[in-house]
């Protein structure tokens, strides 16, 4: 799937969250910032109110995204429809895998050969904002008539860095619980488990009835997303909101990681589950239940597996689950041309309104007005959409993905593999993470 990629033994998410580093990061941190969309519009003598239409001369927009898998055809179709309705705007799409995407965009924008408008994961906005790759879009949100009232506070606020908005949310996507309906029926389970007790009971019944290890616990992808979900469920937080330190080694973190490690100890999962093998095994009916992203929906539909999707059970004391979001952004490159800027606004506005069609890619529309439409209510991910208020996002802290890949992800793997006790693994990782975060504050500016 395009949402995350397997690459030479590293976790799929690691490459995405690393974004870009090394010499490129140093150079970009020093390069000049772009004007905000509002400043650019004022400077280019354009004061007309946005009316949802583009009335200027023919213009070409460079649009970059990472939708290379099953979601790709849905985005391609939307772009085609947009161009049919807006003949003065030609959209040139550049679609590359997310790992390469976050490496290429900053350098390309700096060289003036990057996107004018693009899609980016929410947890990448702060890093690219700090490096002056993307510009504030508060005025875009205002001119489009978008406000927090049409979104959940969490996803709306997560796009703000240092008091300015850098992303317009298109969707949200979280972990969900996929289960094999035939195997549940054989075990006498009539509904999806919703809490720790019913989940433990279900695993026991599944193990007995289907003679298998029903719930494989990965040590890599998406193990750290499972951990984050459970950490929030036990009322902990992974990092300080101001980016000053890591806090995932709290009692809540230990409880979360202990539960994950115990899944293996109790015999519900084999030891040392290789990356992606839990998903492949579920797809081939070798296990009964798995937690994975909702972007897997269309792949599972194509496999003809008798599956159903439900929210991740509440193992802790509160309902919560890890989530991310695709956001539209505008680069400093686009703000030098008022026609491109206005065309970018029309493009984002149109796409945001069409997010019910984008739901066909397995995503949940970010806008409440779209999410509550009959079209979305009939999708497989509707049970997940109903839980959007419980979705949690990482704080907008520059460089956090790189820190997490070097610390939290490793601690989770070590505990699940039995190399370290959960408390020891988390304590060591959090100490290292805090030092890296302190260094990032100096690099990016606290």
Find the mean pLDDT for residues 273-281: 93
Q: Is the pLDDT of residue 238 over 50?
A: yes
**pTM (2 d.p.):** 0.89
Q: At 165, is the secondary structure helix, strand, or coil?
A: strand
- Model confidence at 13, pLDDT cuts 50, 70, 90, reads very low
Q: Is the pLDDT of residue 35 over 90?
A: no
Q: 57 and 339 in contact (C-beta within 8 Å)?
A: yes
| Nearest CA-CA partner of 13 in 256, 261, 223, 260 | 223
Distance CA 145, CA 369 (A): 13
Q: What is the pLDDT of residue 99?
A: 87
Find the mean pLDDT for residues 241-248: 96
Q: 35 and 332 in contact (C-beta within 8 Å)?
A: yes
Identify the residue whose tokens are 């300015």: 164
pLDDT in tens, 352-368: 999 999 999 999 999 99
Q: At 10, is the secondary structure helix, strand, or coil?
A: strand
Find the mean pLDDT for residues 325-335: 93
Q: What is the pLDDT of residue 81?
A: 97
pLDDT in tens, 76-115: 999 999 999 999 999 999 999 998 999 999 999 999 999 9
Q: Mark residue 445 as left, alpha or beta (left: phi above 0; alpha: psi -120 to 50; beta: remaining).
A: left
Beta bridge partners of 364: 172
Average pLDDT score, the chain: 89
- Model confidence at 333, pLDDT cuts 50, 70, 90, reads confident
- Model confidence at 53, pLDDT cuts 50, 70, 90, reads confident
Choose between 446 and 132: higher pLDDT: 132
Give 66's contacts (C-beta < 8 A, 6+ positions apart): 2, 95, 96, 97, 98, 101, 119
The interaxial angle of helices 408-416 and 251-265, nearest 10 deg, is: 40
Q: Are strands 117-121 and 89-95 parallel, antiparallel or unpaired?
A: unpaired
Q: b vs e for 32-45, b when ≥16 Cβ sit within 10 Å of the residue's Cβ?
A: eebbbbbebbeebe
| Nearest CA-CA partner of 138 in 36, 211, 65 | 36
Q: Is the pLDDT of residue 43 over 60?
A: no
Distance CA 300, CA 216 (A): 17
- Model confidence at 446, pLDDT cuts 50, 70, 90, reads low
| 25, 107, 113, 143, 164 from 31: Cα distances, Å | 10, 10, 15, 29, 19
Q: What is the pLDDT of residue 211?
A: 86
| Nearest CA-CA partner of 244 in 123, 127, 129, 397 | 397
Length of the chain in terms of residues written: 446
DSSP notation for 48-100:
PPP-S---SS-EEEEEEE---STTHHHHHHHHHHHHHH-TTEEEEEEE--HHH
Q: How far is CA 289 from the centre of its chain?
A: 22
Q: Which CATH number fits domain 12-170+325-371: 3.40.47.10, 3.30.565.60, 3.40.190.10, 1.10.3720.10?
A: 3.40.190.10
Q: 148 and 195 in contact (C-beta within 8 Å)?
A: no
pLDDT in tens, 217-235: 999 999 999 999 999 999 9
Q: What is the pLDDT of residue 144?
A: 85
Distance CA 186, CA 180 (A): 10
Q: What is the pLDDT of residue 322?
A: 98
Residue 308: enclosing H or E segment and its boundaries?
A: strand 307-310
Q: What is the pLDDT of residue 90?
A: 97
* Tokens matching residue 383: 């049970």
Percent of the chain with pLDDT over 70: 89
Q: Fold for domain 173-323+398-444?
A: D-Maltodextrin-Binding Protein; domain 2 (3.40.190)
Q: 282 and 181 in contact (C-beta within 8 Å)?
A: no
- By mean pLDDT, which of 35-49, 98-112, 236-250 is the weakest? 35-49
DSSP notation for 376-395:
HHTSTTHHHHTTGGGEE---
- By mean pLDDT, which of 116-125, 280-289, 370-379 is the weakest? 370-379
Distance CA 428, CA 371 (A): 41
- Model confidence at 185, pLDDT cuts 50, 70, 90, reads very high
Find the mean pLDDT for residues 45-62: 77
Q: 24 and 106 in contact (C-beta within 8 Å)?
A: yes
Portions of the chain given CATH number 3.40.190.10? 12-170+325-371, 173-323+398-444
Q: What is the pLDDT of residue 50?
A: 66
Q: 328 and 128 in contact (C-beta within 8 Å)?
A: no
* Tokens matching residue 430: 């959090």
Backbone φ and ψ of 304, nearest 5°: 70, 15
């Amino acid at each position: 799937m395009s949402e995350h990629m397997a690459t030479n033994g590293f976790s799929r998410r690691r490459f995405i969250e690393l974004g870009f580093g090394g010499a490129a990061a140093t150079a970009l941190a020093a390069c000049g910032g772009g004007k905000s969309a509002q400043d650019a519009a004022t400077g280019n003598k354009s004061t007309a109110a946005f009316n949802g239409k583009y009335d200027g001369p023919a213009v070409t927009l460079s649009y970059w995204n990472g939708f290379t898998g099953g979601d790709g055809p849905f985005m391609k179709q939307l772009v085609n429809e947009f161009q049919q309705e807006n003949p003065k705007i030609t959209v040139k799409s550049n679609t590359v895998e997310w790992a390469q995407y976050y490496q290429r965009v900053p350098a390309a924008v700096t060289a003036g050969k990057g996107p004018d408008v693009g899609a980016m994961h929410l947890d990448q906005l702060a890093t690219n904002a700090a490096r002056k790759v993307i510009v504030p879009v508060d005025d875009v949100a205002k001119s489009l008539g978008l406000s927090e009232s049409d979104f959940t506070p969490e996803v709306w606020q997560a796009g703000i860095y240092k008091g300015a908005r850098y992303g317009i949310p298109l969707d949200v996507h979280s972990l969900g619980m996929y289960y094999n309906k035939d195997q549940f029926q054989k075990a006498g389970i009539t509904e999806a488990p919703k809490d720790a007790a019913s989940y433990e009971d279900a695993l026991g019944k599944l193990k007995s009835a289907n003679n298998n290890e029903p719930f494989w616990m990965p040590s890599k992808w998406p193990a750290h997303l499972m951990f984050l979900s459970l950490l929030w469920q036990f009322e902990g937080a992974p990092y300080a909101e101001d980016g000053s330190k890591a806090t995932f080694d709290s009692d809540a973190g230990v409880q979360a990681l202990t539960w994950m490690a115990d899944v293996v100890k109790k015999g519900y999962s084999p030891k040392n589950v290789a990356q992606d093998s839990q998903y492949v095994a579920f797809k081939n009916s070798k296990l009964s239940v798995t937690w994975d992203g909702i972007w897997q929906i269309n792949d599972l539909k194509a496999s003809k597996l008798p599956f159903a999707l439900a929210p991740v059970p509440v193992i802790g004391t509160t309902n919560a689950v890890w989530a991310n979001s695709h956001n539209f952004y505008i680069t400093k490159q686009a703000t030098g041309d008022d026609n491109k800027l206005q065309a970018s606004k029309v493009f984002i506005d149109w796409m945001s309104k069409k997010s019910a069609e984008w739901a066909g890619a397995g995503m949940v529309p970010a806008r409440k007005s779209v999410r509550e439409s009959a079209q979305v209510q009939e999708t497989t991910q509707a049970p997940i959409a109903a839980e959007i208020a419980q979705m949690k996002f990482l704080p907008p802290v520059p460089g956090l993905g790189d820190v997490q890949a070097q610390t939290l992800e490793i601690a989770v793997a070590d505990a699940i593999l039995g190399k370290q006790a959960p408390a020891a693994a988390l304590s060591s990782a959090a100490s290292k993470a805090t030092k890296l975060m302190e260094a990032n504050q100096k690099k990016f500016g606290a």
